[in-house]
Amino acid sequence: MTPQTASEKNRELCLLAPVIPVLVVDDANQAAGLARALVAGGLPVLEVTLRTPAALDVIREMATVTGGIVGAGTLLTPKDVENAKAAGALFGVSPGATDLILDACEANDLPLLPGVATATEAMRLLERGYTVQKFFPAEANGGAPALKAIGAPIPQVSFCPTGGVSLKNANDYLSLSNTLCVGGSWVAPKAMVQAGDWDAITALAAEASKLPR
């Protein structure tokens, strides 16, 4: 898969809803219920971070949910890429971007949303052909004003800012011309997931799905 094709596919995914839930799930038995709740609320694109031992099983379970489009986040190594693809991930997300990760995703036909924090990183990925990138960690790197400033000289790149994004500041990002959507964990609070309170999560997702952009 070429970087251009990966960016086209990720652009399509980012435009499906204003928010991509960033999910850290400890128990694969909760995966299907969580995915159904988020999809029912209008958030079909789901990022499962590879931060727990259960993550790959969570991806496998969520991949069976009708209407869900499941990807793997926190890709750090080529093995992560291979495991995510084998588990059913349809896209990948990385906190940064190395040649090893980029090569692995391209070789495994896994569309990557690569992370950047600076204009230089955005330019290097643009040179390679990636026009859709993840701005991370968004709030720690100056928030929406920083992303707006990066967009002025590099309008060819569109972003999904993630990291410290919440319902309170999501609109600050979504109002920017270089933001396609945001990534956030607030739509699936850990306590609600552990309690299996799917109705409450559906309500949070529905609220997020109506954010203007």
pLDDT above 70 covers a percentage of the chain that reads: 100
pLDDT at 109: 98
Q: Which residue has the tokens 């694969």?
A: 28
- Residue 47 designated active-site: yes
For the cut 90, the answer to whether the pLDDT of residue 213 exceeds it is no
pTM for the whole structure: 0.96
CATH number, domain of 11, equals 3.20.20.70
pLDDT score, position 190: 95
Q: CB–CB of 93/134 below 8 Å? A: yes
Dist CA 156 CA 178 (whole Å): 8
Q: Average pLDDT of 164-172?
A: 97
Q: What tokens does 154 get?
A: 């590099």
How would residue 41 be classed by pLDDT, with cut points 50, 70 and 90? very high
- What pLDDT is recorded for position 168? 96
pLDDT in tens, 172-209: 999 999 999 999 999 999 999 999 999 999 999 999 99
Query: 2 with 170: CB under 8 angstroms?
Result: no
* Number of domains observed in the structure of the chain: 1
Residue 19 clears pLDDT 90, i.e. is over it: yes
Per residue, what are the HEC states of the chain?
CCHHHHHHHHHHHHCCCCEEEEECCCCHHHHHHHHHHHHHCCCCEEEEECCCCCHHHHHHHHCCCCCCEEEEECCCCHHHHHHHHHHCCCCEECCCCCHHHHHHHHHCCCCEECEECCHHHHHHHHHHCCCEEEECCCHHHCHHHHHHHHHCCCCCCEEEEECCCCCCCHHHHHCCCCECCEEECCCCCHHHHHHCCHHHHHHHHHHHHCCCC
Instruction: State residue 171's pLDDT score.
Output: 98
Question: Which is catalytic among the residues 47, 61, 106, 139?
Answer: 47
Q: Is 9 a catalytic residue?
A: no
User: Residue 51 sits in which domain range?
Assistant: 3-209
Q: What is the mean pLDDT of the chain?
A: 98
* Residue among 149, 157, 150, 148 nearest 128 (CA): 157
Please report, rounded to a whole number, the percentage of residues in the chain having pLDDT higher than 90.
Answer: 100
From the list 9, 85, 134, 139, the catalytic residue is 134
